Chains A and B, each alone.
Chain A
């Protein structure tokens, strides 16, 4: 009898907690909607007051971004300097967080799922559509119309590449929006061994030159990989699947969606890499490395890495690495929607004050002073001006502050391309004074995939995408690292992909692409 009573009490308790948690959840969501409607009415008031964009109460926004993996001890100082500007103009504060490249995808998945601690962040390495379909990021159409005119002016038509099913979810960062593919390497080693970049037109040529490096430096890996990824793309249009490549245009001039992993292009590439691995040209245990290639290069144990290229790539990276690198281009520039949508700034749906977030984002895209702070830190502390107004956009040419370099600075610049708008900011010493203009021209003149501007919505094939992603994560990176023999694994890989429903994804993509192409023809 007592046992039963106890059981009853326990059940009641469990049920009560379940309901309690349900209640608190729905309570939260209703609160959230309350606050958003509240601030909407607030904004109509302010917008009648025209230029005054200041929030009624001080709003603090969590701004997350990627850095090269260093800790930034001076982050609070930079924050304070940025807040001075933002507080005066918008009555907003920012709280900066940096996440390293190797952890970025994992960490922002968790941040977005928890809905906390991230208001503004660039979605990178995760498809924008995945986040949009999961409701993790907020639709931006109304916000950008109201507060984002500056962003529109800066980006022009490229804004539309952040649309999923017609709804805008992210705005791309201002950077190289097309990519050529090639190889980056340490200049001093190359000179010492007679590495002849002029000779390199194909992978085979590169192989010949890399062998020279291996011969002269047996303890050095000619090719290093970053977090298990050797080659991200080799001239195909991934149609929205940046890293998984489920259904791609193998030939970007032909609108037929196909299976990349069955193509000759892929099998040749994997075979070549496998051979390189056998010859000791690729870092051993490449598959399970969590380091980035540049870490090994800094340590002197690696020579170079495959990368996508843009004008000024070597100069930009030489300055942040602290030693000279050079690049050799192997595949010409190609512009796909991915190049644009792969890194887009978004507002998380957990953000309690999306209007303020959009205002801050707009400011980051348009205010050079703010942008410089975010990218390079504080003038005189982290960097110094070499030539005032020396850049073609009217900004300064800058370099490390006295006595500092990439490894000793407490707010070291890393990839500024993932910051909202580097084009309005200073130019680092060593890059051409018109490097930003060069990149704009590069974007405008690159060959465009036939599907440029097309974004794909994976919602109807979620199950297939999940199953296929699991298969791809088993083989793809390992194949392109040369760790698996394509002769024995490629067939099995494709078999498993089709069993996981790849054909449905390809069909779905094809029909969406055809529909889109028709609207383009009109």
Chain B
């Protein structure tokens, strides 16, 4: 290339000129990415500073890793990592299974009107804000007026439960809430793939004497695999990011529940709000980024081993 720069450069220029409209279309996205994802990265240095607003971030003294110490002197780091990862793994696994099941069921419905109704009903929770969801949950679980205590446990002669101070129920409550709210969206994605499957396969299968179950197992699922891999990989990329609304709003920031509701995001938020210490909350955020980065690399590596064409990079 060094020996003959001009032809290839001319080629490059002509290609660029040729693709100007495409570059222009790419520009807004790139600028967005730069402003939102890359420029804030310079803030990572805060994690290694003892920030003094009088001096400004740059002039504040470097403190090495001492902002990270508090994370590891207690079990905090372990608890928030466990919660973030644990919940997300459950969400991904259960979410995928339920979304696919419902998509297949939807596909079996013959009446067009009913099909549309179900689709809408399933998707509706996805459109509700988490703050509203938190009050829906509160309406169910409030110890005074909650539906569960008042209309289920009491009439059955069971003891009422003070839901917001009993950590043991919350892994279940949060999972149900999350699945209820989010599976509709994934379900529509899978359903769109299902609709695209050539009906000819099914007709051939019916002629060969395959029953419904065999059709699902041998045609529907294999056709869905690329979608499953893409969606799962995208979720794994965000596995260290928790749904802030779900973990902060839905348990209503109740102290006794922290052991099962504290994720990295809520921890960072509380760190900044309650302790008024930017350095330490940045440290927790930094820790999250590093773990997330490693995990994305690992996941992609695994996918490439299994099926190279589906890997992201």
**Centre residue among B69, B70, B255, B278 by max chain A CB count within 10 A:** B255
Q: Is the CB of B74 within 8 A of A499?
A: yes
- Name which residue of chain B comes closest to A221, CB basis: B144
Contact with A along B253-286 (1 / 0, CB 8 A): 1111011000000000011111111101000000
What is the 8 Å Cβ interface bit string for chain A, positions 428-444, against chain B (1 contact, 0 not)?
A: 00000000000000000
A412 contacts the other chain (CB 8 A): no
In the complex, the chain B residue whose C-beta lies closest to that of A10 is: B38
Instruction: Give the size category of B's interface with A.
Output: 35 or more
- CB-CB under 8 A for A29 and B277, given A1-B1, A467-B76: no
Q: How many A-B residue pairs have CB under 8 A?
A: 143
Contact present for A26 and B56 (CB under 8 Å): yes
Asked whether B58 lies within 8 Å of A469 as measured between CB atoms, the reply is no
Whether B34 and A13, one on each chain, are in contact in the complex, defined by CB atoms closer than 8 angstroms, is: yes
B70→A467 contact, CB < 8 A: yes
Which of B56, B251, B273 touches A25 (beta carbons < 8 Å)?
Answer: B56
Q: Is B252 an interface residue (CB 8 A)?
A: yes
Which chain B residues numbered 33 to 74 have a C-beta less than 8 Å away from chain A?
Answer: 34, 38-39, 41-42, 51-60, 66, 69-70, 73-74
Asked whether B38 lies within 8 Å of A484 as measured between CB atoms, the reply is no
> In the complex, what's the smallest C-beta–C-beta distance from B289 to chain A, in angstroms?
15
Residue in contact with B53 in the complex, picked from A113, A288, A462, A478, CB distance below 8 Å:
A113
Stretch at the interface among A16-24, A181-189, A260-268, A448-456: A16-24
Is the CB–CB distance between B58 and A25 below 8 Å?
A: yes
Residue of B nearest to A2 (CB): B12
For the complex, is B164 an interface residue (Cβ under 8 Å from A)?
A: yes
Indicate which residue in B12, B55, B274 contacts A473 across the interface (CB closer than 8 Å): B274
Contact with B along A475-511 (1 / 0, CB 8 A): 1111000011000000000001001110000000000
Q: B residues within 8 A CB of A112?
A: 53, 276
By Cβ-Cβ distance, the 9 closest A-B pairs, closest first, are: A135-B52, A135-B54, A288-B252, A29-B56, A284-B144, A18-B42, A463-B70, A284-B143, A135-B53
User: A388 on the interface (CB 8 Å rule)?
Assistant: no
The 18 listed contacts between A and B (C-beta, < 8 Å) are A26-B58, A29-B56, A105-B273, A109-B272, A113-B53, A113-B278, A126-B276, A130-B276, A134-B53, A134-B277, A135-B53, A228-B255, A287-B254, A463-B70, A473-B255, A473-B258, A475-B256, A501-B73
Residue B162 CB within 8 A of the other chain = yes
Question: Could you say which of A136, A466, A478 has the most chain B C-beta atoms within 10 Å of its C-beta?
Answer: A466
Which residues of chain A are within 8 angstroms of B55 by Cβ–Cβ distance? Answer: 29, 135
Which residue of chain B lies nearest to A472 when distances are taken between CB atoms in the complex? B255
Give the most central of B41, B143, B256: most A CB within 10 Å: B256
Q: Is A149 an interface residue (CB 8 A)?
A: no
Residue among A130, A284, A471 with max Cβ neighbours from chain B (10 Å)? A284
Smallest CB gap from B142: residue in A: A285
- What residue in chain B is nearest A1 (Cβ atoms)? B1
Which residues of A (114-142) have their CB < 8 Å from a CB of B? 115, 126, 130-131, 133-136, 138
Is B57's CB under 8 angstroms from A25's CB?
yes
Instruction: Decide yes or no whether B165 CB sits under 8 A from chain A.
Output: yes
Query: Measured between alpha carbons, how far is A484 from B273 in the docked complex, in Å?
Result: 24
Q: Which of A322-370 contact B (CB under 8 A)?
A: 349-350
Contact A469 B52 (CB under 8 A): no
Q: Is the CB of B252 within 8 A of A138?
A: no
Residues in A whose Cβ lies below 8 Å from that of B255: 228, 287, 473-478
Q: Mark A1-45, 1 if CB is under 8 A from B, else 0.
A: 110000000000110011001100110110000000000000000
Q: Does A285 contact B54, Cβ atoms closer than 8 Å?
A: no
CA distance A464 to B278 in the complex (A): 16
CB of A18 within 8 A of CB of B274, answer no
* Closest Cβ–Cβ distance, residue B34 to chain A (whole Å): 7
Check A199 for interface membership: any CB of B closer than 8 A: no
B138 CB to closest chain A CB, in angstroms?
Answer: 8
A504 to chain B, nearest CB (A): 10
Q: List chain B residues, Cβ under 8 A from A501.
A: 73
What is the distance, in angstroms, from A522's C-beta to the closest C-beta of chain B? 32
A462 cross-chain contacts in B, Cβ below 8 A? 70, 277
| A470 to B271 alpha-carbon distance, docked (Å) | 8
Contact A17 B165 (CB under 8 A): no
Contact B58 A134 (CB under 8 A): no
Tell me which residues across on chain B come within 8 A of A1, comparing CB atoms: 1
Is the pair B58, A22 in contact by a Cβ cutoff of 8 Å?
Answer: yes
| Chain A contacts with B in 221-240, Cβ cutoff 8 A | 228
Q: Which residue in B41, B54, B274 is a CB contact (below 8 Å) of A14?
A: B41
Which of A17, A29, A469, A476 interacts with B34 by CB under 8 Å? A17
A113, B276: Cβ atoms closer than 8 Å: yes
A215 within 8 A of B: no
A198 CA to B76 CA, complexed, in Å: 48
Query: Are B54 and A138 within 8 A (Cβ)?
Result: yes
B residues 56-100 touching A (CB-CB < 8 Å)? 56-60, 66, 69-70, 73-76
- Smallest CB separation, A333 vs chain B (Å): 30
- What are the residues of chain A within 8 A of B52 when measuring CB–CB? 133-135
Contacting residues of chain B (145-178) with chain A, CB-CB under 8 angstroms: 162, 164-165
Q: Is the CB of B51 within 8 A of A134?
A: yes
Chain A residue contacts of B12, Cβ below 8 A: 2
Is A106 engaged at the interface, CB distance under 8 Å to the other chain? yes
Q: Which residues of A contact B162 (CB under 8 A)?
A: 284-285, 483
* A463 and B276 within 8 A (CB): no
B residues in contact with A25, CB < 8 Å: 56-58
| Chain A residue at smallest Cβ distance from B39 | A17
Would A106 and B73 be within 8 Å (CB), given that A21-B42, A473-B255 are in contact? Answer: no
Are the C-beta atoms of B59 and A484 separated by less than 8 Å? no
**Cβ contact within 8 Å between A484 and B74:** no
Contacts of B58 in A (CB 8 A): 22, 25-26, 29
